[in-house]
Structure 1
């Protein structure tokens, strides 16, 4: 059995602890010269397990330079781990230097770290890419022994994971003896993740380690006498019950899925906060100072509750959190398990969590999540194939560090799991794009970023290329952001501000630029938990002042929405298809399903229900795939094209997470009944061929996706020394380049990357294809003379007006009542 150094063993003893078996297993793997993937439940001491070999190694022998690199998906997590690691190091009086390096680290410290690194450095994938682009990288990382990858499952399913894998492949060249320890609590397919970390050093073994035990979490769904909404995601009905729950616990984390939901929930709780409970807000658009202030208050136990997004759902130990609340459906069991683990962050104590559905369909999803968590079923996504735009960014970064031979870099890149099967011809095309911009752009000098030396090596064309690369490195492309600056308050009249904009004021955070194009001067909206008025906009800054308003707008953020997982979708279909399970549902939901049984039929778990009915002057087709909004939106786009060809005269469609509704002037029931429209043909898989290609050729979505690929690849730069492009400038540049490439080089490497991204991220083509195969010859058509009860939620989304606050809730409730009366009119109970 592995023996701990006496100083560490004594430290465990003074705490009254004993090292856990999986912590010693990680140490044993290190001593055998192996990498390891440790899968352990939240609170099992994964972080200490990851650093135990480092502490042991540094105690037993002096080490000059960087020894261990810890890479986290979140800046806040890196800071938290550094704090938790520094405490035992100080208590053991070890001469070990620990530092963090994130975008918030002062520039002077980041510069010093390149030449004088600490023994343990905690950072993010973006900072890794930045460090590797400097000429000092070989010297800085030559001493590296270990890499600790925390919450790896959260990285490998995105382009950040591509960037990380390429960085690790480079590190395996600079430090051939380094080994990896990866940590995760939620992994559906461990073997894939083990292969992912083993790819850079295939000659060394990679051990799969698991921790046993862990108390079963205690989960519940909010039960309230308040009326459960038919649709929407605000969950306003739950605010009073949530407030009472917060009062009954030490510290409550309230997770939501989007930033706009966070703002609404925070505002709703403050409106009824008669006891002046310390409740805070935390999401990615708030300023760094405000987020750090909230995090410090949580650590010190000064907050009663925090409303947050995914910014706090990974690994961070928040002390006295004794309840996690998920407002809105969790969308996946692995994500729910991850968030549940924030409560009672200890292995032997059960985490306590409560789910709060926002509408009636979400009740079914919450019940499905409850079952999945109880069975410890994981539905985390698999690692993805590498993006061409990320590889282009990496190639440029390597040239910034030092000239390279193409053969050497290609061999190195194949040691990154997402690129292990990359054909040489494709690599050469991407290299040519980085060097010249490609065939259609090579005549423009500004796209010439690499030059070939007489020895056949590739180097940067000029020093400005490296400067621009380092300003723009990374794969996170949000909607164009602007700073929101608070200026001095002034007098208000009917919610309008008057007079000139005041000087000074602090930055509240950042918001997506497009939102302000919908506002007029004086319009009020919520940001950072307070109501502000729009005063004006100049360059990349928006000016706001504090305001008072009964109906402020809620910003609608483009990012932060999660798709319903395939696994939960299957469980939702099963619940609907199993009436004996309905008694556990709220009466309003079980009654709704029974009314659907009476008025139409219910979707079965293996078929697709298609309802057709007239309403007013139009006819409707509503189907219930339960495959998530992205797949449904794509299905709607393709079905309307087919209905046009069938002369069914479609007018539009609307998609939710659970259903799709299409409306038009043609009598769809009659067309299907007379075999002039075949549902099997309508929902045939071949729609993902020419129909999809034709639609993509016409779609603005391709241009939006191309913009992101162009930014990541470095073709379009967001930042220049001392200034930043506006969203409008970036869009104009990318649209112009897209048109040129599409016309003159339609197989350009960035056009290929754009098509792959659109299929995977924005259209969910793979999932849609699985659904179409699943329902083949299993489509149930139910012609009706009026709307069905199950169609009410998705029909509420048709023609929805942008009403905010209580007025929106009331309007939707009235509309739902009217639709239900219509659905049941003339039917005997």
Structure 2
């Protein structure tokens, strides 16, 4: 379909020429996956067929736009308003998210707009109403923005099940997925249920490098604060800068560090997921209005929002994931023909190597991915219950409908029936309890046993199960500042101070399950422990780091201090290299230390530490503790590890893993998440919300009951599979050991250069403030001198 004259004239008036990939989507009626760089007009490409079709009258909903972020729906609504006004189209564009007023949501169910902008969770909610066939019967197109971000989590599985349901209501539906960062286009197209891939010209290579700093990075920790002055200089020289930080707590600290070196009082904002919605929206509005020079942010601003004036992105801390770095780079110079400009600030010496490896990957446009298991059954259980909320259903028909969803193509009928049985009865050990008897079969159709249960199920829709959080509000005017974890709140006593929203506050009291605080700008804060995103370095990036360390011919890309560090490691012990597993045993201060360089990521090393210390205990070595990073594991014990090979036998670790998981608290935490998604547990209740303690208590009782009386229960099976895959990353340990790498074991005379930062990690916790930093610097100097590096 060529561009209609009015749309072609609008392009000409803007001084634009349509890109080939935009024309390609106009000319097809097939499902498509468009991969185009940031600023390449992906969103407009997704909507052009809609704008062309809506020049003719259309009754009801025509196009559904789905994004991973509520903020992105508001941004798209603003951007769509321009062409709609210019083309004089008489159409309604509305959004439907958790922020939408109840009255507007109710009206949308009986009088939907032509274009509806929403999220996966809100779509699932709309599909749970009896009016769903009427709402979506007129639907012609679905546009999924940032589809790669959804495909990496259970939100994507939920969305694909929703699309399968939409196709039952609107068989002629066309789906378009949009993304700038896809490592495996064919796999993502298959995730969509089978789509053609449309590749745009990748555009100019980004301008990305390490940010020069006046002082070298510290040996461990720090969060990049050593470079706050250098980052401030870069902000001063740019129009608008996004400063990305990997975790919420580090974002708070770095925001404070920037203000300490900001004598010009340049306006700098803060944005992360633990801040209240009002605070986040205020920061976004200030940025859109050009009132800020920089925004310190986390993944909350990773995706697609078009801040047109951003001309610099700074990543503080190693990116951990190449694709995430690509995504963040794309926030700068959000135009197709202009290179994005970005700088990276490593937090410590190990991260210098990771940053160089990431820069090489960006230059080669080599993306990594986040593995995600197909067909999670807890999501399917929730979907079955929501289908029952809408109308009675035939099991065979629903099974065939579910199999049309890409992730569930190979779903067996036995697994579907197990999910259906769980939804109907709760499973063998729970079928005697009325509260879990939710579905009943009447006239060969499954339906809710009690229609009033629909309200409770709708209140708990979604696959995001947040940690237990408590609201923080200012005492007096009761302004909400944000949230902190319940476990952190429980550690506070009246008078304690902590950071939130870039300011130090004093905890006064707990009232109505909210923390009331008073600003205390002069006090040294106790740091809030936000949950945030627990990021581990990806498998692909870890492999690049290992290859770089193991090949001295490539060290010219590294700073001199890092080259000297690695050279000394090579002379004293051994360098980790691909195909080997390097281990060290040395003594220090009367303790034996065992260091293993696995490059498996922090979660996997944490798991390996628990398993190895358990084996060491059985062997009488007297393990005393361990510390894990993305790159290595360090264990200290009474007696030394003389031969690591028996400890590292995969079959022994696998057996130990199964025994450990059966009684581990991590399994209970994983079960709580899965039971909530599957609908066994409800966090939100009419008129109230369970506290974290209540939810944990209920979940732990259920877990112990099922483990004792029904160990093969569906949810326990899902929990075990999920734990091996993501919670403890045992799959990465298996991958490391399954290839039978050569074990290189050295016994250096003292601490080695690569092991020294791990000892600093182990001793960094107890104290805070300037005195603590001075002590840490002194300890680092002593440690490096001991390792042989002056």
State the match for 1:53 in structure 2: 49
Secondary structure of the corresponding residue to residue 172 of structure 1: helix
| Whole-angstrom CA distance in 2 between matches of 1:523 and 1:687 | 46
Aligned position for 1:465: 453
Question: Of 105, 111, 117, which aligns to 1:116?
Answer: 111
Q: Is the 8 A contact 1:214 1:347 kept in 2?
A: yes
- SS class of match (1:155): helix
Count of residues in Structure 1 that have an aligned counterpart in Structure 2: 790
Q: 1:39 aligned to 2:53?
A: no
Is the 8 Å Cα contact of residues 539 and 726 (structure 1) preserved in structure 2?
no
| Mapped partners of 1:98, 1:807: distance in 2 | 56
- Offset of 1:377 from its aligned partner? 0.8
Report 1:363-762 matches (<5 A): 363-453=352-442, 455-488=443-476, 504-668=477-641, 671-672=642-643, 679-762=644-727
Query: What is the distance in 1 between the residues matched to 2:321 and 2:448?
Result: 44
1:800 aligned residue: 764
Give the Cα separation in 2 of the matches to 1:187 and 1:44. Answer: 15
Instruction: Give the C-alpha shift of residue 717 in structure 1.
Output: 0.7
**Mapped partners of 1:706, 1:538: distance in 2:** 30
Contact 2:193 2:405 in 1 (8 A): no
Query: What corresponds to 1:14 in structure 2?
Result: 13
Residue number in structure 2 paired with 1:676: none
- Within the candidate set 71, 74, 79, 2:69 is matched to 74
- Give the 3-state SS of the residue equivalent to 1:689 in structure 2: helix
1:196-216 superposed Cα distances (whole Å, 9 cap, x missing partner): 2135xxxxxx32100014111
Q: Distance in 2 between matches of 1:681 and 1:175?
A: 59
State the distance in 1 between where 2:699 and 2:761 align: 32
Pairing 1:787–2:751 present: yes
Partner Cα separation in structure 2 for residue 686 and residue 288 of structure 1? 49
SS at match of 1:95: coil
Q: Do residues 27 (structure 1) and 26 (structure 2) align?
A: yes
Post-superposition Cα deviations, 1:701-742, rounded to whole Å, max 9, x if no partner, equal 111111111111111111111111100000000000100000
CA distance in 1: counterparts of 2:363 and 2:380, whole angstroms? 40
Q: Given that residues 241 and 312 in structure 2 are in contact (C-alpha distance below 8 angstroms), is that contact kept between their aligned partners in structure 1? A: yes
Rate the CA distance shift 1:68–1:805 in 2: closer, same or farther, 3 A. Answer: farther
1:496 corresponds to: none
- TM-score normalised over the length of structure 2: 0.98
In structure 2, what is the Cα distance between the partners aligned to 1:92 and 1:285?
A: 40
Match of 2:236 in 1: 247
Q: CA deviation at 1:772?
A: 1.0
* 2:152 corresponds to which of 145, 153, 157: 157
CA contact (8 A) 1:649 1:665 kept: yes
Q: Is the 8 A contact 1:638 1:687 kept in 2?
A: no
CA contact (8 A) 1:156 1:382 kept: no
The one of 744, 760, 775 equivalent to 1:811 is 775
Matches within 5 A, 1:300-379: 300-379=289-368
In the alignment, the residues of structure 2 paired with residue 688 and residue 124 of structure 1 have an alpha-carbon distance, to the nearest angstrom, of 41
Match of 2:731 in 1: 766
Q: CA–CA distance in 2 between the matches of 1:431 and 1:471?
A: 21
| Residues 313-361 of structure 1 deviation map (CA, whole Å, 9 limit, x = unaligned) | 1111101000000000001111111100000000100000000000000
Give distance in 1, aligned partners of 2:504 and 2:229: 21
1:98-117 CA-to-partner distances (Å, cap 9, x unmatched) read 11111111111111111111
* Residues 1:279 and 1:637: Cα distance change in structure 2 (over 3 Å): same
Distance 1:265 1:715 in 2: 40
Cα offset, 1:811, TM superposition: 2.8
Q: How far is the alpha carbon of 1:688 from its aligned partner?
A: 4.6
| Partner SS, residue 113 of structure 1 | helix
Please give the residue correspondences for 1:276-291 in structure 2 after superposition, counting only pairs within 5 Å.
276-291=265-280
Return the offset for 1:799. 4.3
- DSSP-derived class of the 2:296 partner: strand
Deviation at 1:821, TM superposition (A): 2.2
TM alignment of 1:208-219, pairs within 5 A: 208-219=197-208
Q: Any conservation in 2 of the 1:360–1:589 contact (CA below 8 Å)? A: yes
Cα-Cα RMSD: 1.5
Aligned partners of 2:271 and 2:300 also within 8 Å:
yes
Are the equivalent residues in 2 in contact too, given 1:524–1:549 (CA < 8 A)?
no
Q: Distance in 1 between matches of 2:449 and 2:768?
A: 53
Work out the CA distance in 2 between the residues paired with 1:693 and 1:469: 33
Equivalent position of 2:784 in the other structure: 820
Q: For structure 1, which runs of at least 5 residues remain unmatched after alignment? A: 200-205, 489-503, 673-678
Distance 1:86 1:384, change over 3 A: farther
Q: Report the Cα distance in structure 2 between the residues aligned to 1:803 and 1:330, rounded to whole angstroms.
A: 27
**Pairwise CA distance, 1:787:** 0.8
8 Å CA contact 2:579, 2:741 repeated in 1: no
Q: What SS does the aligned partner of 2:54 have? A: helix
Greater mean alpha carbon deviation, residues 328-337 or residues 548-557: 548-557
The reply on whether 1:193 has 2:166 as its aligned counterpart is no
Distance 1:392 1:799 in 2: 45
Q: TM-score of the superposition, structure 1-length normalised?
A: 0.93
- Whether the aligned pair in 1 keeps the contact of 2:470 and 2:489 (CA below 8 Å) is no
1:737-783 C-alpha deviation (Å, 9 max, x unpaired): 10000000001111011112211111112222111124x24111001
Matches of 1:514 and 1:409, distance apart in 2? 41
Q: 1:382 to 1:663 in 2, by over 3 A?
A: closer
Distance 2:118 2:393 in 1: 26
Cα gap change, 1:765/1:458 in structure 2, threshold over 3 Å: closer, same or farther?
Answer: same
Residue of structure 2 equivalent to 1:495: none
- Write out aligned runs for 1:170-181 (5 A): 170-181=165-176
Offset of 1:233 from its aligned partner? Answer: 4.4
Gaps of 5+ in 2: none
